[in-house]
Amino acid sequence: MKPADFHKLLESSSLIKQGAEAKVYTVELVKATEGRAAITVLLKYRFPKTYRHPSLDSQLTKNRLTFEARSLTRALKTGVRVPVLKGLDLEQGWLMLEWIEGISLREWLHVHQQHAQSREEMSGLLADVGAQIAKLHSADIIHGDLTTSNMMLRKAKTDTAGQEVVMIDFGLSSVTALVEDKAVDLYVLERAFLSTHSDPTTLSSNTPPPSSRSSSRLMLAACHNTFGRPSKHGWLTSACVVENAAWSAEQRA
């Protein structure tokens, strides 16, 4: 796509989010007509950073986009639910992704967290999160920013009444086989979860254990159960690292 065409596309798009590194837009590639639905995609644009040297900024942008595109493609091949990569331009700094229709897990939890009738569904969603992370780590993909804001819920394709988790935003992802890096990924999720959702013990459909990390452990348990033999994939070691780090932090506090 020529630069002029790209900027024209941006002007006709809707900005939905802006961070320090990128802007995210919704783009309607094909308008809806009678008998045909509109085709909408998500456009992530890593805009130039004026505080960095142009050549350095260009190289960093290319590297991050390359990592993100590779992680998404690798995750999809492994069976992880992620947006399909539709387009990529390293020179102009953008990638185009499948539009996921739904809300974030964070938004859903804020609405349903205190509803007793939703506990079973919550437990199912948290277990699904754990299963998706397990598949990511089995493929040696580190997400880098595991929060409930980076998990979307959409209507399940195999269950008309349920929802399924889709992992998004792989902008900080990397590929490594180190168990310690996978443990850090899980620990970041646990701390982000506890800081965002004030009463995580309510998210278990069973009587929660004394620890306030019961919901995080539910996700970890799903990681273990996805493969059946956790030690083979380093899950037992990862879980121990996470639990020990959390225990040490509590002791220091």
Q: Coil, helix or strand for 148?
A: helix
pLDDT at 209: 36
Question: What is the layout of strands, in order, in the sheet containing 163-167?
Answer: 103-104, 151-155, 163-167
Domains 10-98 and 103-252 share a fold: no
Q: Does the pLDDT at position 200 exceed 80?
A: no
- Has domain 10-98 been given CATH number 2.115.10.20? no
Q: Which CATH class is domain 103-252?
A: mainly alpha
Task: Strands of the chain (E only): list them.
Answer: 14-18, 23-30, 39-45, 85-89, 94-98, 103-104, 141-142, 151-155, 163-167, 174-175
Task: Strands of 46-161 (E only): list them.
Answer: 85-89, 94-98, 103-104, 141-142, 151-155
pLDDT at 66: 96
Q: Does the pLDDT at position 238 exceed 70?
A: no
Q: Does the pLDDT at position 45 exceed 90?
A: yes
pLDDT at 236: 46
**Which amino acids are annotated catalytic?**
145
pLDDT at 204: 47
Note the pLDDT tens digit of each residue in 115-145: 656 778 888 898 899 899 999 999 999 999 9
Domain boundaries, the chain: 10-98, 103-252
